[in-house]
Structure 1
Amino acid sequence: MPRSSDTLWDIALAEVSKKNENEDNVEARERSVFFLGNKSGGKTTIILRFLDRDEISKPTLALEYTFGRRARGHSTPKDIAHFWELGGGTSLSDLAQIPITVNNIRSLSVVLVLDLSKPNELWPCMEKLLSVTKNQINKTINELAKKDSIKVNEIKQRTWKMLQKDHPNFESEKRKVICKTLRFVAHYYGASLLFFSNKSESTISKMRTVLNNLAFGTDRSKTISVEYNKPLFVPAGMDSLSQIGSPPAAEVELRKISARNPIDLWKKVYERLFPCESTREIKEILDPAKDPRYAEPEVDAMRTQKDQELEHFRRNASKLWKEMEFDIRGK
């Protein structure tokens, strides 16, 4: 409160000092975004485009990390976004325990990237990765609850507050089935749904909007596109069961399907048109390395070494991550 004896310059100086003090106390906000999905599905490409890095994407080995920074205002610290990318499709899904931790669970977003050109692999890949991610999140939440139950309640309330009560919660028939199914799954998990192509500027722009919200907390988009002959874009909280409709099957067929819950019903309807093939294909990919018919001493020795290094990485990465200190703010 200015004193009666203060001059105009005294008041101005006090205001400037107060402003500078407030800016000095503003800490850089940090968020984490965890990408996972189909092998060679485009995760690296999305991250590189978002960060405006003119690089040729390379296959992701195990789990890779990068970061981005964004200025919030003049003379304030830059916000930091940690980007984690899981390679190998579902084969290395146990590494999800590294980016999903008690330390970042309150500022973590998960981005599931699915390859629409492989519809028969879509559901099993999605189901496996969502299951692993959900289990790790629940494990982390339970661990946090033992230390601070109030923070856990805050996380849950903030999540539900973002969604509305009914969160409104190939033009070929095959394309329609894929689109309706993905809309239901996204709605079921309270997630955003975005079709992305590196050759479409429209989808690239929408991708940037979504990732800016997840990584830096910018405003969420209120645009929605649900036409099946166009790339879908449905921000979390803007779809509804009434808009999505029932699973794409005749009512008579639906009554014959035995399902434990809604997600199981959609899965069975989807797999009638796109039978699961990924489990068999994954086994066929992994088994030849141990098949004596293809033995190559030098190659096998190197493979054994790399397997041991990967196992060592799996055991110690979580511990190392907790001890790591990223020297980012000073850069």
Structure 2
Amino acid sequence: MLAIPEIATQIIDKTLANVKENNSRTIFLVGSKSVGKTTLIHSFLEKSDPPRETLVVEYSFGRKSNQKQGIDKILSHIWEYGGKLETLNNVLESTPIRGKYFLCVMIDLCKIKNIWETLETCFQTIKKVYSAPETLPELIIICGKYDIFKNYDSEVKKVVCTTLRSFALLNHAHLLFYSSKEPQLLRRAKDMLFNIAFGNGIPIKEKNTNYTKPLSIPKDSDSWESIGVTPSTIEQVKIRHTSRIPPITVSSDTNTAGGVQKHAHPEVALDSLIDLKYNELRNMESLDISIDYLLSINK
């Protein structure tokens, strides 16, 4: 059975057989879970239906008349990945690319202990899939939920912003703070998407490097001196960040009344519900099958 990206590839190839390459754009969004990727896409495309959770891959498109080319239209293909980041490489490798290619990594500013892991996982995968410099897409780091992050402790905001600026500088990425609940930031993010989808690139006009305000920094326009740290490698940036904001350590095992049960799902909430169901089964007087046997099946 064909995967969603493969089916989409066939449809796109058939539909766009005669469309010029310079009239196509590809935008791919990936990053933190529940950061607002779908909300941003719906807002940009002006969709009226409420956003729903993206389980794996979603495809949308936008079309705009090209005034210079008469009846020709610019077609923008928008991909959104909501699955586990560990399998991102499989999706990127099978995603059809048409025309200019922009890859947006969205970071949840509210989950500060997950920021480094998300950045590192996404960018390692991107560099692995697009190993040749000429195939590397234009990279954009969009940091969502600024409406909550702006109320964090000043020192925490400074550390996070220093890390994000350093990471963007090392990876030649644009950096933009965003919130769907603040009209000015929403409009700025929509303008950016409009320009990469139908315009000539990413015109970030309102540059800001002050960590007390939402960051907005075009690629290669920042400097170590402006950031306030010595020139660093990616490993040095990681050490500096994790020493101040330790990442979440998740144990692979959890103790239960019946022994040790391995996590079977990526979401802690699902494991908790399963543990609760197992406890209910243990308390059923009419259950004849050994609960230990049932547990062994799930291992």
Q: TM-score normalised to the size of structure 1?
A: 0.62
- Contact 2:86–2:121 (CA under 8 A) maintained in structure 1: no
Instruction: State the SS of the aligned residue for 1:222.
Output: coil
For residue 241 of structure 1, report the CA deviation from its aligned partner: 2.1
Shift of 1:275: 1.0
* 3-state SS, counterpart of residue 75 of structure 2: strand
1:30-83: CA deviation from partner (whole Å, max 9, x where unpaired)? 111110001111111111111111221111011111111122217331101111
Aligned residue for 1:114, secondary structure, equals: strand
CA distance in 1, matches of 2:270, 2:182: 38
The answer to whether the Cα contact below 8 Å between 1:181 and 1:270 also exists between their aligned partners in 2 is: yes
Equivalent AA in structure 1 for residue 72 of structure 2: P
Indicate which of 190, 207, 212 corresponds to 1:229. 212
Structure 1 distance, partners of 2:106, 2:21, is 32
Q: Deviations over 1:250-307 (max 9, x none)?
A: xxxx9xxxxxx7111111111112111165488563983997874699xxxxxxxxxx
For 1:242, the equivalent position in structure 2 comes to 225
Partner of 2:3: none
Measure the CA separation in 2 of the matches of 1:25 and 1:287: 46
Q: Determine which structure has the larger helix proportion and give its number.
A: 1
For residues 206-259 of structure 1, the C-alpha deviation after alignment (integer angstroms, 9 at most, x for no partner) is 212321232223352332011211111112232222211217xxxxxx9xxxxx
Residues of 2 paired with 1:25 and 1:94: CA distance? 28
Cα RMSD over matched residues?
A: 3.3
State whether structure 2 residue 244 is matched by structure 1 residue 273. yes
For 1:209-224, what aligned pairs fall within 5 Å after superposition?
209-218=191-200, 220-224=203-207
CA gap of 1:71–1:278, structure 2 versus 1, over 3 A, is farther
Deviations 1:156-204 (A, max 9, x none): 8x97xxxxxxxxxx37011011011101111111111111101112111
Instruction: Provide the identity percentage.
Output: 28
Contact persistence 1:120–1:276 (CA under 8 A): yes
Alignment partner of 1:109 is 2:102: yes
| Structure-1 separation of matches of 2:183 and 2:160 | 23
Counterpart check, 1:126 vs 2:119: yes
Structure 1 residue 98 displacement after superposition: 4.5
Given the alignment of the two structures, is residue 56 of structure 1 paired with residue 60 of structure 2, yes or no?
Answer: no
User: Counterpart of 2:205 in structure 1: which amino acid?
Assistant: K
Say if 1:117 and 1:286 are closer, same or farther in 2 by CA, change over 3 A: closer
In structure 2, distance between residues paired with 1:61 and 1:111:
18
What is the number of equivalent residue pairs in this alignment?
236
Name the structure 2 match of 1:251: none
Matches within 5 A, 1:164-183: 170=152, 172-183=154-165
Indicate the structure with greater strand content. Answer: 2
Which runs of structure 2 are paired with 1:313-324 in the superposition (5 Å)?
A: none
How many Å apart are 1:133 and its aligned residue? Answer: 1.7
**Counterpart AA for 1:96:** V
SS in 2 for 1:47: helix
For normalisation by structure 2, the TM-score amounts to 0.68
Q: Which residue in 1 is equivalent to 2:8?
A: none
Deviation of residue 26 (structure 1)?
A: 7.2
CA contact (8 A) 1:67 1:83 kept: yes
Structure 2: give runs of 5+ residues left out of the alignment: 1-17, 139-151, 253-264, 282-299
2:40 aligns with 46
CA–CA distance in structure 1, aligned partners of residues 19 and 32 of structure 2: 42
